[in-house]
């Protein structure tokens, strides 16, 4: 019997376990179609803001030992433009990632998608805080709860909170999102990081500080998923450094119901999705599992 | 195997060559970039300013590479203004390469679009009969004529400069000169790089005559390595799936010749 690769993340059902992570290749419907055809369970859009953002000057993304540093500055075409673009979509499960600093912005954005086929909203809680300089939205649990509950009150699709390792304990951010009514949590976003060119003594990214992604953050991300899944009763989507089926399973065993793949696209190209699907299917056959859900959180029994 | 770097490495500009009043070539030592395939590019970091995609220019000396830059906006002007001894960062090479067919081939370019075409000329087979058509507005914008003749010295070849005002070489748009030439000469393949409207016409012409054609495209690039999606066109990432595409693919493209994406990702008309 061929193992069933479909997954349920609370109210969200997907045919396959690995999604395209936010900010990766995510700006056109044709590209989404291609990635879905190549084996992704869903595609998460680039984080969209109320207005279009140009982002920072290059260098915005560079490779380093163990992964990538990026500070693109959340460049995106804006929620209204994006909503218009995905209106004709029927087939591809699209998770719309939204970024903003107050709940009104989120409400405005969700309303743009009223006539679109949206599988879920993922709220990127790593946006800079407007009042508290140097902090992120996710560092302010009260604000997180306000934003999530506002989105829940206007959105017809499920709502996912995406957390990163900010300056407050990320578990408090998770709790705040749960209090606001989040249906699931994605963990983790990139980790604040920096690289300096030795020859010129300059920070490499134009924004100086950016986010670290790729294999270097995987063990940290696995730990976070394990902690969230152990502490709270909420479905988790694992993300951070996944580039093979073994990596994906590590997250599943830590307690993730599904995973997202970002940087690995830069190393393995979009073939990475079918490689993960095939690898997991083989593993399930070998070990005698028939459903993904049988494997979720298995590492917690030790 | 080619080694591909994703982190910028600092290189010293060793020599600056004035090509025209608005175009300069900057020579560096870089064994890796010296041998890139025709069509491939590097990301060039102008510290403190920006990082731009640039095709890699052919330099006769071993181990040397160069960038030929036209000054346009703030960032390319900052690069253009650099002097010998200044530092730039390079990473790459990225992208695919032209597929060089046998027989009679035409290379049709304008401006700095000639850079990948001259590398193609360098990789041409000894049996290739090569025609290079280089377009520009007027005489003082013509460059690379000598470089082209030099690179092709062992091939049967001709270099045709075309100026829109007729102040040098053939008068008219390079596409019109190509169309006239193609009435009498049977080309086995046509390769083009330059302004998109020009490439679009070249591809249409070749497709209508059933001639194999490839174009090397430009789109907004940030990562250069297939992560950010800023360079997408239809369903392809120009940095990773390209920059070289076949006429057959381009004929079906909704965006080629019509639209490109701005920094935010919004589609804009050419
Ligand atoms: C694969 C590739 C190879 C290239 N090779 C050369 C070359 O050999 N010589 C040369 O002079 N130029 C080359 N370019 C163009 C170059 O990268 C810049 O676009 C150009 O120099 C203008 O830059 P600017 O910032 O000064 O212009 P701006 O005034 O800031 O912008 C003008 C236009 O340039 C384009 N542009 C700006 N930034 C980028 C970017 N990061 N990526 C792509 N396009 C951008 C946009 O269309 C923009 O509208 C190449 C581009 C690509 C994609
Ligand atoms: C270039 C780039 C852009 C990103 N943009 C976003 C974004 O817009 N919104 C978001 O929530 N996460 C963004 N991320 C974070 C990824 O979605 C992901 O959480 C992170 O990269 C870790 O996964 P990975 O190691 O598989 O890349 C971005 C990451 C990269 C590398
Ligand atoms: S420039 Fe980032 S995907 Fe092409």
**Is CATH 3.30.450.40 correct for B104-269?**
no
Query: Could B228 and A265 be called an inter-chain contact, meaning their C-beta atoms sit closer than 8 Å?
Result: no
Query: What would the two tokens of residue A85 be?
Result: 């673009």
Q: Taking residues B167-181, what's their average pLDDT?
A: 94
The C-alpha of B242 sits at a distance from chain A's nearest C-alpha, in angstroms, of 14
Confidence at residue A166, expressed as pLDDT on a 0 to 100 scale? 85
Q: Which residues contact A199 (CB under 8 A, 6 or more apart)?
A: B10, B87
Confidence at residue A134, expressed as pLDDT on a 0 to 100 scale? 79
Q: Which of B96, B223, B245 to mutate to test the pocket of ligand 3 (most atoms within 8 A of CB)?
A: B223
Out of A34, A76, A263, whose CB is closest to B235?
A34
Q: Which residues contact A242 (CB under 8 A, 6 or more apart)?
A: A18, A218, A248, A251, A259, A260, A261, A264, A276
Helix pair A141-154, A170-179: axis angle to 10 deg: 30
Closest CA relative to residue A196, chosen from B223, B92, B47, B226: B47
Would the pTM count as exceeding 0.90? yes
Whose tokens are 């306000």? That residue is A146
Whose tokens are 């062992």? That residue is B154
Q: Which of A211, A244, A270 to mutate to test the pocket of ligand 2 (most atoms within 8 A of CB)?
A: A211
Query: Could B8 and A28 be called an inter-chain contact, meaning their C-beta atoms sit closer than 8 Å?
Result: no
The C-alpha of B226 sits at a distance from chain A's nearest C-alpha, in angstroms, of 5
Ligand 2 in reach of A234 Cβ (< 6 A): no
Confidence at residue A1, expressed as pLDDT on a 0 to 100 scale? 66
- pLDDT tens track for A75-107: 999 999 999 999 999 999 999 999 999 999 999
CA–centroid distance, residue B215 to ligand 1 (Å) = 17
Confidence at residue A132, expressed as pLDDT on a 0 to 100 scale? 81
pLDDT band at A128 (very low <50, low <70, confident <90, very high): confident
CA-based nearest residue in chain A for residue B263: A54
Interface test with A, best of B82, B94, B229 (most A CBs within 10 A): B229
Query: Could A57 and B226 be called an inter-chain contact, meaning their C-beta atoms sit closer than 8 Å?
Result: no
Ligand 3 in reach of B71 Cβ (< 6 A): no
- pLDDT tens track for A195-239: 999 999 999 999 999 999 999 999 999 999 999 999 999 999 999
The C-alpha of B72 sits at a distance from chain A's nearest C-alpha, in angstroms, of 16
Task: Find residues 62-81 of chain A whose CB sits inside 8 Å of chain B.
Answer: 62-64, 68, 70, 72, 75-78, 81
Sorted by where each begins, the domain ranges of chain B are: 9-94, 104-269
- Superfamily (CATH) of domain B9-94: Translation factors (2.40.30.10)
Query: What would the two tokens of residue A30 be?
Result: 């044709």
Contact present, A51 and A102 (Cβ < 8 Å)? no
Atom of ligand 3 nearest to the CA of B239: 4
Q: Do domains B9-94 and B104-269 have the same CATH topology?
A: no
Length, in residues, of chain B = 270
Contact present, B6 and B226 (Cβ < 8 Å)? no
Q: Going by CA atoms, what residue is nearest to atom 19 of ligand 2?
A: A189
pLDDT surpasses 80 at A133: no
Query: Could A72 and B222 be called an inter-chain contact, meaning their C-beta atoms sit closer than 8 Å?
Result: yes
Q: Taking residues A182-207, what's their average pLDDT?
A: 97
Pocket of ligand 1 (CB under 6 A): A 58; B 41, 50, 52-55, 68-70, 72-76, 112, 115, 218-221, 243
Q: Taking residues A105-131, what's their average pLDDT?
A: 93
- pLDDT tens track for B101-127: 999 999 999 899 999 999 999 999 999
- pLDDT tens track for A240-274: 999 999 999 999 999 999 999 999 999 999 999 99
DSSP conformation letters of A128-155 = BPSSSTT-BGGG-HHHHHHHHHHHHHH-
Alpha helix stretches (DSSP H) within chain B: 31-34, 74-80, 114-123, 145-151, 174-184, 196-209, 238-241, 247-251
| Chain B residues near residue A63 by CB distance under 8 angstroms | 5-7, 91, 225
- Between β-strands A236-239 and A184-187, what pairing exists: parallel, antiparallel or unpaired? parallel
Contact present, B246 and B213 (Cβ < 8 Å)? yes
First-to-last C-alpha distance (Å) of chain A = 29
- A46 interfaces chain B, CB cutoff of 8 Å: yes
Q: Which CATH class is domain A7-301?
A: alpha beta
3-class secondary structure per residue, B77-88:
HHHHCCCCCCEE
Closest CA relative to residue A181, chosen from A250, A243, A234, A110: A234
With left for phi above 0 and alpha for psi between -120 and 50, is residue A287 left, alpha or beta?
alpha
| Chain A residues near residue B42 by CB distance under 8 angstroms | none
Query: Mean pLDDT score of chain A, rounded to an integer?
Result: 96
| Chain B residues near residue A272 by CB distance under 8 angstroms | none
């Amino acid at each position: 019997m061929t193992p069933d690769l479909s997954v349920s993340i609370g109210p969200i059902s997907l045919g396959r376990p690995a999604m395209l992570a936010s900010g990766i290749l995510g700006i056109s419907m044709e590209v989404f179609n291609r990635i879905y055809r190549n084996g992704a369970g869903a595609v998460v859009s680039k984080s969209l803001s109320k207005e279009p953002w140009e982002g920072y000057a290059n260098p915005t993304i560079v490779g380093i030992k163990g992964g990538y540093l990026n500070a693109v500055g959340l460049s995106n075409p804006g929620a209204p433009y994006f909503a218009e673009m995905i209106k004709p979509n029927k087939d591809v499960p699209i998770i719309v990632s939204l970024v903003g600093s107050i709940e009104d912005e989120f409400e405005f954005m969700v309303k743009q998608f009223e006539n679109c086929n949206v599988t879920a909203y993922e709220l990127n809680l790593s946006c800079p805080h407007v009042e508290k300089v140097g902090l992120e939205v996710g560092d302010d649990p009260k604000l997180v709860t306000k934003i999530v509950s506002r989105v829940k009150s206007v959105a017809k699709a499920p709502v996912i909170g995406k957390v990163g390792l900010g300056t407050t304990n990320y578990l408090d951010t998770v709790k705040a999102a749960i209090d606001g009514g989040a249906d699931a949590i994605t963990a983790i976003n990139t980790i604040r990081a920096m690289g300096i060119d030795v020859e010129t003594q300059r920070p490499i990214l134009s924004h100086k500080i950016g986010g670290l992604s790729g294999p270097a953050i995987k063990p940290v991300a696995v730990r976070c998923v394990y902690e969230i899944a152990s502490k709270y009763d909420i479905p988790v989507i694992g993300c951070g450094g996944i580039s093979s089926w073994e990596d994906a399973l590590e997250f599943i065993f830590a307690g993730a119901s599904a995973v997202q793949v970002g940087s690995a696209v830069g190393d393995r190209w979009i073939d990475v999705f079918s490689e993960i699907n095939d690898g997991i299917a083989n593993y399930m056959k070998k070990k005698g599992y028939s459903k993904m859900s049988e494997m979720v959180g298995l590492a917690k029994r030790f | 195997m080619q080694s591909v770097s994703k982190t910028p490495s600092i290189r010293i500009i060793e020599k600056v060559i004035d090509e025209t009043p608005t175009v300069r070539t900057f020579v560096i030592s870089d064994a890796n970039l010296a041998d890139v395939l025709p069509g491939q590019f590097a990301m060039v970091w102008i510290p403190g300013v920006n990082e731009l995609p640039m095709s890699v220019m052919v330099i006769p000396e071993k181990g040397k590479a160069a960038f030929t830059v036209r000054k346009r906006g703030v960032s390319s002007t900052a690069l253009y203004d650099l002097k010998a001894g200044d530092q730039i960062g390079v990473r790459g090479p990225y992208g695919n390469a032209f597929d060089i067919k046998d027989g009679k081939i035409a290379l049709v370019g304008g401006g700095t679009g000639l850079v990948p075409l001259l590398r193609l000329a360098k990789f041409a087979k000894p049996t290739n009969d090569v025609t290079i058509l280089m377009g520009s507005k007027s005489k003082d914008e013509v460059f690379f004529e000598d470089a082209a003749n030099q690179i092709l010295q062992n091939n049967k070849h001709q270099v045709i400069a075309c100026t829109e005002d007729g102040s040098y070489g053939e008068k008219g748009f390079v596409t019109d000169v190509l169309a006239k030439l193609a009435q009498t000469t049977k080309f086995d393949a046509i390769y083009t790089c330059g302004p998109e409207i020009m490439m679009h016409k070249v591809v249409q012409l070749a497709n209508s005559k059933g001639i194999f054609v490839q174009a090397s495209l430009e789109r907004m690039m940030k990562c250069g390595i297939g992560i950010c999606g800023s360079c997408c066109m239809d369903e392809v990432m120009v940095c990773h799936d390209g920059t070289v595409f076949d006429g057959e693919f381009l004929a079906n493209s909704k965006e080629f010749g019509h639209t490109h994406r701005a920094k935010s990702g919004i589609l804009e008309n050419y």
